[in-house]
Amino acid sequence: MVVFSSCKLSCTALLPKFQTSSLFRRNFNFSNPFNLCISITNFCTGNSIYSRNVTIGQLTRAGNVDAARHVFDKMPVRDVVTWNSMLTGYWQSGFIDESKRLFMLMPEKNVVSWNSMIAGCVENERIDEACVYFCKMPERNTSSWNAIISGLVRNGRIKEATSLFEEMPQRNVISYTAMMDGYAQNGEIERARDLFDQIPHKNAVSWTVMIRGYVDNGNFAEAKALFEMMPNKNIVAITAMITGYCKEGEMENARCLFEDTRNKDLISWNAMIAGYEQNGNAEEALNMTYKMLEMGMKPDHATLISILCACSSLASLKQGRQFHVYVVKENFESHGSVCNALTTMYNKCGSIPDAEAVFRQLDIPGLVSWNTIIAGYAHHGYYDKAIGSFDKMRSNGLKPDGITFLNILSSCGHAGKVKESMNWFRSMANDYGITPRAEHYACIIDILSRAGQLVKAYKIIIQMPFEADARVWGALLSACRVYSNVKLGELAATRLIELEPHNCGTYIMMSNIYAAVGMWKEVVRVRGLMKDQGVKKQPGHSWIEFENRVHIFLGGDVSHPDIDKIHLELGWIGLQMTMVDDYETKAIITIFPRWRHFVDFAELFYQKCDQEVIQKGIKKNYA
């Protein structure tokens, strides 16, 4: 009685604190004060099965499976929850084989145990084993069916998922949503919409999956209509719409939706940053990144990939290096995609040694990583290094793909290796079983055309197993401009205009071909055709990084504070070009039409003076 009284006093002291605990409300019974006292005492001292189960769950969720296993092994009595917590903890930490061993040792299994193993196999990319567990289950609930269907969908096995979905004795919103997601990923957007319309009680996830499906399949009009109908718009659906606007190039609408969103998360910021980068506005992508940092958000791997791509587009080596420091500081060096983005950034910024250093840090480079470093060598004309990397990649047991060969062909092009390029082109199909695609043909046509072998290039085009696209004809037309081949140029331009009637580049190149051979009436005709078709020349642009600032220059733009100095320098370059014996002045006019007064000045003096007099005159008048 004394013991009971002291225990009762302890219970009375603890009760107010425990009453506020959700754990207490769910797991303790008020009906028997004595049992309540014992339960609270055991819970506080950690002696109950329940308390140890809670401890195991907390440790496994924190990734400390060894400590959880220590608690598990010390328990004198375990229930099915104990076993389930431990085996789930193992597969969540990537130890699926240990989960399987523990599952086999379980004295008693319930449906939660089986569901956990199915989920574990799915998460660890063992879908076939998940199917085996599903087939062996003595009894199933809706969660069992949902788990295996979701796993099959994730692995692209839509037919099997559909078959199981049709067999399900009872479906819920999760079942419908899983199949909708599968159909959308497989491009069967109409089937996904049919299921969406059948859901009796749609939740936010089902609405979001359908909207995202429309966006991913290019049905943005339907996505917008569905988004307007959505009763409670969450951040995931909003982000899907932002992504859709970005894909459509509607960056202003994307920005408006983003700015109107109250609780922006990292994914929505990533969508905007990626959108600007993918739509050619790398500078704004970086500005958005800095704003995100000011808001206290930390970039993840997706952010870093977009940022590094933006630095690549701007050739901004200093900013790229700053973000490389962040990559090292936040331990993203082991992330393959981030390292590949870093390698690409250094490649495009012209710092091959830095690209090589990043590549060497990879423990086991994958095919994408090898392709990235080979692309860097190719772009900068290091043919031997590109081929050497190709050989090393093969010796490591990796099989080249179409991108690998595209990079190899590109390296041949930059190094002027015409014969070697043809050998590699044939080797693709003969030795590696890779069918050349349009981009490979475009590359080989470009190589032959640059070498002046225009007729051979044209013969390859007409022998292609499929219709040549704009890239192929564009490569030929570009070479025709260089070699002033009017006949082939007209043929290529005709096909290009059929394929891309509003591409101003075709008209400009054809006009330049005519100008180079003095066919001025044809120049006027092409310019008139442009006007009739409503085609406007898009101004060219370039940029340079100077003193930590990226300067962007647009054709025809006179807003730069140093525009007068820039014009003088361009004029000086044009004059120097006219002094080269084999370079005609009229060719200069086609390249520098906005600085014709400099060329006219050169022509005027070139007729009467030697080069030394011209140089003195220019320095006197324009220095």
pLDDT in tens, 423-452: 999 999 999 999 999 899 999 999 998 888
pLDDT score recorded for residue 623: 34
Does residue 588 register a pLDDT over 60?
no
Q: Is residue 66 part of a domain?
A: yes
Instruction: Give dist(CA 61, CA 65) in Å, integer.
Output: 8
559 CB-contact burial (10 Å; exposed 0-12 / middle 13-18 / buried 19+): exposed
310 near 285, Cβ under 8 Å? Answer: yes
Instruction: Give dist(CA 446, CA 474) in Å, integer.
Output: 9
Does residue 544 register a pLDDT over 90?
no
**599-613, pLDDT tens digit by residue?**
444 444 334 344 443
Instruction: Give dist(CA 300, CA 338) in Å, integer.
Output: 10
User: Please, what is the Cα angle at 408 between 492 and 341, to 5 degrees?
Assistant: 105
Q: How many domains does the chain have?
A: 3
Q: Say which DSSP state 546 is in.
A: E
pLDDT score recorded for residue 549: 63
Considering the domain architecture, whether residues 32 and 61 belong to the same structural domain is answered as no
Considering the domain architecture, whether residues 579 and 593 belong to the same structural domain is answered as yes
Highest mean pLDDT among 20-24, 174-178, 592-596: 174-178
CA 35 to chain centre: 59
331 near 364, Cβ under 8 Å? Answer: no
Distances from the Cα of 248 to the Cα of 215, 240, 241, 253, 539, angstroms: 10, 12, 11, 10, 22
Residue reference for tokens 């990292």: 266
Q: Is residue 430 part of a domain?
A: no
Considering the domain architecture, whether residues 16 and 63 belong to the same structural domain is answered as no
Considering the domain architecture, whether residues 65 and 33 belong to the same structural domain is answered as no
Beta bridge partners of 543: 552
306 near 332, Cβ under 8 Å? Answer: no
Instruction: Give dist(CA 384, CA 180) in Å, integer.
Output: 50
**494-535, pLDDT tens digit by residue?**
998 888 888 888 888 888 888 888 888 888 888 888 877 777
pLDDT score recorded for residue 580: 61
pLDDT category of residue 545 using cuts at 50, 70 and 90: low
pLDDT category of residue 594 using cuts at 50, 70 and 90: very low
Q: How many residues does this entry show for the chain?
A: 623
pLDDT score recorded for residue 353: 95
Q: Is residue 283 part of a domain?
A: no
Please name the helix (run of DSSP H) or strand (run of DSSP E) that holds residue 545, with its range, or none.
Answer: strand 541-546
Q: Is residue 19 part of a domain?
A: yes
pLDDT score recorded for residue 194: 92
pLDDT score recorded for residue 368: 94
Please name the helix (run of DSSP H) or strand (run of DSSP E) that holds residue 552, with its range, or none.
Answer: strand 549-554
Does residue 412 register a pLDDT over 90?
yes
Share of the chain above pLDDT 90, in %: 44
pLDDT: which is higher, 588 or 577 = 577
Averaged pLDDT, 45-58? 77
pLDDT score recorded for residue 25: 46
Considering the domain architecture, whether residues 39 and 54 belong to the same structural domain is answered as no
**95-115, pLDDT tens digit by residue?**
889 889 989 998 988 999 999
Averaged pLDDT, 66-72? 87
Beta bridge partners of 585: none
End-to-end CA, the chain: 109
Q: Is residue 520 part of a domain?
A: no
Domain containing 32 equals 2-44
Considering the domain architecture, whether residues 9 and 50 belong to the same structural domain is answered as no
Instruction: Give dist(CA 310, CA 318) in Å, integer.
Output: 12
Does residue 18 register a pLDDT over 60?
no
Considering the domain architecture, whether residues 21 and 37 belong to the same structural domain is answered as yes
Considering the domain architecture, whether residues 57 and 13 belong to the same structural domain is answered as no
pLDDT score recorded for residue 14: 47
Averaged pLDDT, 62-82? 87
Considering the domain architecture, whether residues 60 and 93 belong to the same structural domain is answered as yes
pLDDT category of residue 327 using cuts at 50, 70 and 90: very high
Does residue 156 register a pLDDT over 90?
no
Q: Is residue 57 part of a domain?
A: yes
pLDDT score recorded for residue 607: 42
442 near 475, Cβ under 8 Å? Answer: yes
Instruction: Give dist(CA 364, CA 572) in Å, integer.
Output: 51
Tokens of 448: 């032959």
pLDDT: which is higher, 387 or 5 = 387
DSSP 3-state of 181: helix
Mean of pLDDT over the chain? 82
pLDDT score recorded for residue 541: 63
Averaged pLDDT, 540-555? 63
Q: Is residue 577 part of a domain?
A: yes
147 near 168, Cβ under 8 Å? Answer: no
Q: Is residue 481 part of a domain?
A: no
Does residue 7 register a pLDDT over 50?
no
